[in-house]
Structure 1
Amino acid sequence: MVVTVVAVREDAGSRRVRTGTDPSGAPFLRARLSLPTVPATFLRRQRLVHALDEASTVPLTVVNGSAGAGKTLLVADWAAGLGLPVAWMTCDAADRAPGMFWAYLREALRGADGTAVPGVRCPAEAGRVDRGLLARLAIALADRERPVVLVLDEFDRVTAPEIAEQLGFVLHNAGPGLRLVLVTRSEPLLPMHRYRASGEMAEIRNADLAFTEAEAGELLTLHGLSLPGSTVDGLVRRTGGWAAGIRLCALAARQRPDAESYLKEFEAGRSTVADFLLAEVLDGQPPERQELLLRVSVLDRFRPELVNALTLRTDAEAALAALHRENAFVQHLDHSWYSLHPLFAEILRVHLRERRPGLEPELRRRAARWLHRSGALAEALAQGAAAGDWEFTAGALVDDLALGQLFTGLRAQHLSGLFAGMDPRAAGAAPELVRAALDLSRRDVAHGLARLRRAEGTLLADGGDRRPAALLGCALLEALAARLTGSPDAAEQAVRTAEEVWREVPAQLLDAHPELSALLLTHLGSARLWAGRFDAARAALTPVVACPPSAATALPRLEALGMLALVDHLTGWNDRARHKALAAAGEAERQGLPAGSGPLAGRLVLAAVSVERDELDRAEDLLDATADEPAPAGDPVTAAFEAVVRGRLRLARGDVHGARVPAVPAAVPSPWAEEHAALVTAAAHLARGRADQALTALQDAPRDRTACAVETARALLVAGRADEARELIEHLPRAERQGPAVTVRIALVRAQAAHRAGDTGAARRLVAQALLDARREQLRRPFLEAGPWIRPLLRNSPRLHGLAEGWLTAPAGTGARAVSRPAAERPPAPLVAERLSGREREVLERLARMLSTQEIAEDLHVSVNTVKTHLKSVYRKLGVGRRAEAVRRARDLRLL
């Protein structure tokens, strides 16, 4: 047993002075007056130390953070190396009594510097303090040459307004002799607004105390853990940078055989982190606030009205404000919205399931309906899906006209994932519509249309609920299905239906979803383009491109711009097409989309233009980038055009055997797709001198289309049927609004006919006209494919030679020949380190024929993954990284 002797003496004024005891007669607890010991694993963060150094120049510094945020150790480490007298006091519940608070504060000051407060007595009573004592204390501090730093830790325990007022009085009157540092979990009761306004206060708050990824990595290293940056980043995100959370996870991970896996997958609700938060935060709250915290844990964010709906109470506003003020892991966002710390919410959800089994789905259902009524659709959908209430969730998506968001905008992938888990038993028009949309987004037209028909049947049944928003959703999906199947008439009908229903939908709802009309017009434009109705396609697509840029309409705008570029290319306006395609790529980059994620039609147009300019490596690179991608909409337009561009490139490379354009399945044939397939086939036959087979290939092609008529005339000339050729040339379809890529070929075939008839002058005039038209757009392929008759004209005519020099023929002095650019000296090809296997050679040969990975797999009767494995091996052995480089290297090595 320890007996404490309290010495009592009388001073000159017969006043009793107590030494070594507080006003209650108990000895001072020295642990409350000592700087905490900093552990060996403590990480000194210089940015916070620097902030405290700067803060020490103002009278008041507040370090305000949640439990476990690292406040106390931060200030203790800083204070230990400060070089000034530091008085440390850890506040206690007993400090609600003013006499007790000031007795401990005086003792802390005396411990820092024995001469700090001479002549200031210890308060005689626990419940009160004399105003004169406070004045003498302030005067004693003000007279100091060097300031004393007073740290009041856990100041949130001091809840008496009287003490806060007294502390403010001393701080104000002590002047530069006192620097006060408050370490607290909640906003101090001092008049903070005055200190902030006068610039006499510095603050370090929760956000400042959060660990950065770099700091967390250093802390884990101090705990003996060396982990990848991705693991550290994931831990920081999950803990919100909370110091205690990271430290407790590090301690637990050290006990596991695989620390990295543990930190990625640990169950927050069954961890030391949960024990800390439940004990330090949840259990310290009154029962009604505990219930509130448990119930709001199902929400990502919440506001008082929503919390009242979940708790069936009316006092949420005051409770949330208090929890935030106390740093109880309730974060204030803006406009009355709050959120829980992510790790705390995770732990509370586990606790909710244990305390209130079966309550979570009901809470989420209530939240979903409140959020939907409030216009927070995205959060309503998430809560409805989590509750398993699929009829409500699908209905909210459809009735809010948000069905189109499954196909456009940044939320498409999230929504698809959300509804992928929809219960198959969910019945009704809305769930069927959502299932149809998901099928169509995956290009599963058969299942999508079957479900769409069931939804339409429910909506249109006798006595059924006619829902305009749902009918509009049906029209959108009908238009998409028509686009995917190449059914122009069905697309026109779908848009007419949409126009009829449009008037029944509230205008504000339509204004909130501009993606709906953008998608409808894009699908219609694609269907019209497939039908070869270019002017009508422009009319549908141009308003989409002209609509104001937004995240909701970004993808349809890009697709429409890409298809407008395709229309320009198909009508011979290569330069216009190129500018539109480049604009689409630039727009994709500005929208923050990944590199190469612009519209496929636009990228294919750039490849086609490169072929026309005889920039074959550039074309090949562009096609390589799309080799393993499906078309964004999976429609026949891009599929057919890609086949055409690949066929043209193979032909330009001299692969006349591989120059073929496979047909694309569709409900109705496309005149331009058939035309270009016939053109590639005919050109391949002509390159081999087989004019009759070229004519056979062109026999069923539409003669009313200019390009087919021009190629037929060229084949007739090669076949020696000059009269028929001239007759056809005389009656070529009108070339109104046709661009240079068409008019140049017309001029060249007329020049060829004139040359065959011996009219050299007319031939030269027509070639000159073709050169003038082609030069601005660098159209080289028409001249390279024209045949041997053109070379003497270019060589022997100074005027023609001058028009062609530098862009079509080599510059003067290097020999005039029809080339796309001067031949470059190639360095000797390196040897292949390893011999290619037989199967690798087969893959390489098909690679040179511009087959896609899918086509190579089908040709060799193997899987796509097998082909990819062989490609990786080929690239490694050839020392390249891309398809085009592999083909060039193989040709250099004579492997092809």
Structure 2
Amino acid sequence: MPAAIDAAGDVRFRGKGTAMLRSMVERPLNEVLVGRDGFVALIATAGAGKTTLLRQWEAADSRPFIRLAAADASDAVAIVTGATGPVVVVLDDVHRHPDGGAFVVRSLAELTLQPGIAVVVSGRAVDRRALTAMRLRPDLVDLSDADLALDERAAREVLGGHVGEEELRRVLRRTRGWAAGLQLARVALGRRSGDEDPEFTGADRVVRDYLQSEVLDDLGDELTGFLLHCAPFDELSGPLCDAVRGSSDSQELLERLEREHLFVSALDREGRRFGWLPLAREALAAELDRRDPTEAKRLRTVGADWLAAHGDARTALALRLANGDREQALHLLSEVVLPMFYAGQLEEIVGIIHAIGPDIAITHGYLATMFAYAGMMTGDEVCARRWTKAAGDFYQVHSFGDGDEQVAFLALRAHLCADGVQRMRRDAEAARVRVKESSPWRAPVLMMSGIAAGLCGDARAAHRLLEEAAHVSAELRATPALMLALSERLELHSGRVSADAIAHAVDAAEGGPFTHYPHAALGYALRAEAAAIAGDKDAAHRDLLRAHGYRAALGRELPWLAVQVRLRIARATASLGDPAGARLVLAEAEEILAGLAETGILKKQAADLAAALRPLGGADAVGASLLTSAELRLLPLLPSHLSFEEIGDRLHLSRNTIKTQARSVYRKLGVSSRSEAVQHATQLGLVSA
């Protein structure tokens, strides 16, 4: 049966629903509560499941339960001291009568309880002194929101089988297992009709209505106003809230919100930074926009200015975008886009580009350059070429704004290597001459200078520059430049490289959110080849699958790296007894080389590999090795709900082309349907689970 929300705001499950919630409370019930003597503090957010837990405990415990409202609890001490047998005394809803409840709790905390007697204090908040008195007791069981949160299995049962895995994860991120939030999601998602597929957020009316009736209606104007005025901001601090409110009491109010379990909790042990329950913040922000959109915009503006002045330009950018302040957003984006690249936030950058509208970069040369970088790093050749041209056209008419603008543009041209490796080296060297010692662009510029020198056959200069690039990248925490500099040192090294050196290069990619950057590809390909040569087939196959995953994002927009990675993959594939797969990947490298005006050492490396593969037989190929770059680009979209026509729109291809590529994927993976292809590709590690 479905869940309902009771008068106290707690989710009440009937029938099968009880089993759902059991996964949440099974450990505390069986191991902590049933038969337990002493004190239990059950202080949690509205709708967290307090009432449900108490009911299940009562059903599982042999002792009688006596429930007392905080307003009528003056006899609680007498009941506890006069009990002649085992009993559980529940002082419920202590937050509704804070003064009387606090007195009773402190009085109870001073008692020595007889064996078999348990005292439960339940509610959304309790007086600090009373809570401290309880916490000093060695027999206290302290349960809060984290203990009551529903896990993924229970959440799936609450939401129902029609909710997909991706949507389930989104709902759990927003609710963090909050029982009422999950039930509200079930209600909201159950109202969808036809082709409409809106994402569940706190802005949904059912969430706003719940917060209004179960929380805000019980609060005074001060706390309600504070909650609403702080809602535009994901992370809160006393100084930020003071700045946007024009006040000096925000730290005290934040601590009160946390103490009263009003959807805010400290993010650090000092209690200086606070975060929201995401669903509640979204609901409150939507309510603020509904009540007073002018004030909501003003708060975001003041908050953005304060955050930008205090070193958090990324959050300020999001606030400016929410306000529709495009010019201010563009100015901030210019400041934060490179640090975001370095921090592994490539997907966020692409999202920001879409939010702003990419055409705006036509009038901003630096942003056009950075948009081209985003295209280059996501394998979008059209985007990379388009915005490189836009930046070039802009700088033909306008001068470079400062040293970094010109350095960034020269480094971009070096990355693209459109006119061959000699021009790539000239661009990289021109950037290196101009880059300042203090510039954040110094890391990628040194890296590109070293790579270009190596591709031109200047091994000594390459080693020196890549050594410096690795040092500067680590210093600047420019992880993408670091992992590629480390890999390129090994790639351009003429002798045999050690396993430790390869591990160092790969570890840089695996230590954070950088595995989707193309810079990581060469490290995995190098490690796959080393493992194959050493006879460790399992390790080689694992790293080969990782390296294959980058082929779709590595083409003509990064031709030199695309060739290097494919040659390493082909060598490893051949070492594993799959010459047919090796030849296919080599053919891709040769096709990319054919589009380069000047290839440096790459053409000879490809020719040497082709000669080595020529005498090998045509052993049965491994299906994953035979997937083309176009097919690998299609794979991540197959698990989605998109039709072939919609996938074609995203990839700028016709429906028939997508259908043909899909059939080829099925054949190479040995399956006959889209769902089987997704399952098999997931097992191989070619798409995320």
- TM-score scaled by structure 1? 0.58
Distance 1:327 1:583, change over 3 A: closer
What residue identity is the alignment partner of 1:273?
A: V
2:416 paired residue number: 484
Report whether the alignment pairs 1:672 with 2:601.
yes
1:38 to 1:380, Cα distance in 2 relative to 1, 3 A: closer
After superposition, give the CA deviation of every residue in 1:550-606 in whole Å (9 maximum; x if it has no partner). Answer: 9943322221222222212xx4x2x22887556534553455755997744456667
**2: distance between equivalents of 1:157 and 1:545?**
60
Between 341-350 and 649-658, the greater mean CA deviation after superposition: 649-658
1:321 aligns with 2:114: no
Q: Which residue of 1 aligns with 2:30?
A: 50
**Is residue 2:293 matched to residue 1:357?**
yes
Task: Indicate the structure with greater helix content.
Answer: 2
Distance in 2 of aligned mates of 1:601 and 1:319: 52
CA–CA distance in structure 2, aligned partners of residues 318 and 641 of structure 1? 58
Counterpart of 2:667 in structure 1 is: 874
Does residue 1:275 correspond to 2:209, yes or no? yes
1:264-283: CA deviations, max 9, x gaps?
73464444332221112123
| Residues 1:50 and 1:376: Cα distance change in structure 2 (over 3 Å) | farther
Could you tell me how far apart the structure 2 residues matched to 1:384 and 1:367 are? 9
CA distance in 1, matches of 2:588, 2:316: 54
1:648-663 paired onto structure 2 within 5 Å: 661=590
Helix, strand or coil at the partner of 2:228: helix
Of 629, 639, 659, the match for 2:552:
629
Q: Which residues of structure 1 form unaligned runs of 5+?
A: 1-31, 107-133, 461-465, 684-780, 786-818, 830-843, 883-896
Aligned positions of 1:109-120 closer than 5 A? none
**Which residue identity is paired with 2:65?**
V
Provide structure 2 residue ranges, at least 5 long, that are not aligned to the other structure.
Answer: 1-6, 377-383, 635-653, 678-689
Is the CA contact 1:558–1:587 (under 8 Å) kept in the aligned structure 2? yes
CA–CA separation in structure 2 for the residues paired with 1:37 and 1:583: 53
User: Contact 1:639/1:664 (CA < 8 Å) preserved in 2?
Assistant: no
CA contact (8 A) 1:558 1:599 kept: yes
Q: Partners of 2:671 and 2:226 in 1: how far apart?
A: 65
1:707-742 CA-partner distances (Å, limit 9, x unpaired): xxxxxxxxxxxxxxxxxxxxxxxxxxxxxxxxxxxx
Does the aligned pair in 1 maintain the 2:435–2:442 contact within 8 Å? no
Distance 1:214 1:630, change over 3 A: closer
SS in 1 for 2:492: helix
Aligned to 2:113: 175
- Which amino acid is 1:298 matched to? P
Structure 1 residue aligned with 2:480: 555
Contact map agreement 1:578 1:605 (CA 8 A) in 2: no
Q: 1:305 aligns with which of 239, 261, 272?
A: 239
Cα 1:523/1:50, change in 2 over 3 Å:
same
Q: Write the mapping of 1:804-883 to structure 2, written as runs, cut at 5 A.
A: 865=658, 868-875=661-668
Aligned to 2:638: none
Distance 1:148 1:392 in 2: 64
The residue type paired with residue 438 of structure 1 is F
Correspondent of 1:74 among 50, 53, 74:
53
- Find the residue that maps to 1:150 and give its secondary structure: strand
Superposed CA offset, 1:33-83 (max 9, x none): xxx99854444432232365268322x221101222221232133234432
1:525 aligns with 450
Matched, 1:432 2:370: no
Superposed, which structure 2 residues align to 1:502-581 within 5 Å?
A: 502=437, 516-546=441-471, 552-568=477-493, 571=494, 573=495, 575-576=496-497, 580-581=501-502
Q: Establish whether residue 90 from structure 1 lines up as the match of residue 69 from structure 2.
A: yes
Q: Which residue of 2 aligns with 1:496?
A: 433
Shift of 1:196: 1.9
Q: Is the alpha carbon distance of 1:852 and 1:609 closer, same or farther for their aligned partners in structure 2, counting shifts above 3 Å?
A: farther
- 3-state SS in 2 of match to 1:241: coil
Q: CA RMSD in A?
A: 5.0
Matched AA of 2:387: H
Give 2:125's match in structure 1, choosing from 181, 186, 192: 186
Partner letter of residue 183 of structure 1? S
Other-structure match for 2:284? 348
Mapped contact 1:235–1:246 kept (Cα < 8 A): yes
Q: Does 1:588 align with 2:517?
A: no
Q: How much has 1:241 moved relative to structure 2?
A: 1.6
- Work out the CA distance in 2 between the residues paired with 1:329 and 1:179: 29
Q: Which residue of 2 aligns with 1:722?
A: none
| TM-score normalised by the chain length of structure 2 | 0.74
CA distance in 2 between counterparts of 1:212 and 1:851 reads 40
Does 1:149 find its partner at 2:88? Answer: yes
Query: Are the aligned partners of 2:337 and 2:349 in contact in 1 as well (CA < 8 Å)?
Result: no
Could you tell me the percent identity over the aligned residues? Answer: 21
Measured in 2, the distance between the counterparts of 1:249 and 1:267 equals 8
| Whole-angstrom CA distance in 2 between matches of 1:312 and 1:166 | 38
**2:126 paired with 1:197:** no
Is 2:93–2:122's contact at 8 Å kept on the other side of the alignment?
Answer: yes
Larger Rg: 1
1:369 aligns with 2:312: no
Whole-Å Cα distance in 2 between the matches of residues 352 and 670 of structure 1? 59
What is residue 684 of structure 2 aligned with on the other side?
none
